[in-house]
Amino acid sequence: MENYIDKPANIREGEGLDQQVLLDYLVNNVPDIQGTIEIKQFPGGFSNLTYFIKIGDRELVLRRPPFGKKAKTAHDMHREFVILKALKPVFPYCPAPLIYCDDESVIGAPFYVMERIKGIILRKELPQGLSYTPGEFQYLCEQLLDIQCLLHSLHYKELGLENFGKPDGYIERQVHGWINRYNDALTPDAPPYTEVIKWLKEKLPETLTRAAIIHNDYKFDNVVLDNTNPKKIIGVLDWEMATIGDPVMDLGNSLAYWVEKEDPEDMQLIRLVPTHLDGTLTRKELVNRYHEKSGIDMSDFDYYYCFGLFRLAVIAQQIYYRFYHGQTKDKRFSTLILAVQILEKQAKRVIEKSHL
């Protein structure tokens, strides 16, 4: 199974770290750190940068903001560190956070370091040689949904997270906030999303389904599988957008990534995770399972799914904006405008079929 483990790669151009300065900082601030340092970069992800740090026999992960234009409230390393510290004792899927640093003289930006959860991460296609029977992949999908339900069931006030978010008015702030972010990141080749934005404003739910801890980017390539048992989820990564908010909106954001085998051809082009495999639960099956486990009324889920698609388009457009204006040289970003256009088509399909 070792060949399936998510492996770091060489650091991308312009995204290097000063090894000696970082090593000195970690030796002085983290217990039991000694030895020579090796730094690589995990190639996945389009937002915060994630580095593999090996010092002696310790394997760590460092997270820092991206280079270039950043939204004001995005890429807050301290928030990510705080949620991990609060959740780790009650939600075992979190990586163990070790230290947060706001001294930009170390690597040029705030960052935090955590223990590495070593395992398999599923991306667009399965690692070569790894396969699932339909029953095995169905079980994995069920487990993915159940862990998200578990997170949503935690009592955030008991964990000291009552000030971590503002649940009152959360949905309205999210919808209008992401609309503003889209307008701020527009490029001449981006679609206006006029119909989708109008519908999201008109059909805005009045209240939260309930207030809960939400991950806000929960999907297959943000969970880690046991390398000795690829049917078992052992970790949940990338907590940068976690907050206190609406759990159904969190599920809608997750299912925006859920491209089914029977979805239109254009959606197949932007699939990022292997939700096309035989045995994969459909979005409808996942929503029904969520209802059964949480007891929450899911009759308005069209709204949350449509918002999830729009929000994903905004994220893609914000990243594309940085590429368009030469703020990053990462060539992966050049095709994101295609995703923005396709996601608009899918959002319109949802609106056309919706009973709302």
Write down the pLDDT at residue 71: 43
Question: What is the mean predicted confidence (pLDDT) over 50-65?
Answer: 94
Amino acid identity of residue 355, one-letter, is H
Note the pLDDT tens digit of each residue in 229-280: 999 999 999 898 899 999 999 999 999 999 999 999 999 999 999 999 999 9
pLDDT category of residue 72 using cuts at 50, 70 and 90: very low
CB-based contacts of 145, cutoff 8 Å, min separation 6: 281, 286, 289, 290, 293
Write down the pLDDT at residue 320: 94
Write down the pLDDT at residue 213: 98
Write down the pLDDT at residue 331: 82
Mean pLDDT (the chain, rounded):
93
Q: How far apart are alpha carbons 61 and 354 in whole angstroms?
A: 43
CB-based contacts of 128, cutoff 8 Å, min separation 6: 3
Note the pLDDT tens digit of each residue in 87-125: 999 999 999 999 999 999 999 999 999 999 999 999 999
Q: How far apart are alpha carbons 182 and 295 in whole angstroms?
A: 33
Cα dihedral 63→76→156→45 (10° resolution): -50
CB-based contacts of 262, cutoff 8 Å, min separation 6: none
Note the pLDDT tens digit of each residue in 23-42: 999 999 999 999 999 999 98
Total Cβ atoms within 10 A of residue 176: 15
Report CA 181 to chain centroid distance, whole Å: 18
Percent of the chain with pLDDT over 90: 84
Domains of the chain: 2-115 (3.30.200.20), 134-353 (3.90.1200.10)
**Pairing status of strand 49-55 against strand 37-41:** antiparallel
Q: Which residues pair with 9 in a beta bridge?
A: 41
Write down the pLDDT at residue 12: 87
pLDDT over 80 (residue 45): no
pLDDT category of residue 69 using cuts at 50, 70 and 90: very low
Write down the pLDDT at residue 73: 47
Write down the pLDDT at residue 152: 98
pLDDT category of residue 3 using cuts at 50, 70 and 90: low
Query: Reading across the β-sheet that carries 111-115, which strands appear in turn?
Result: 37-41, 49-55, 58-64, 111-115, 97-101
- Half-sphere exposure for 286 (CA within 13 Å, toward CB): 33
- The three-class DSSP label of residue 264 is coil
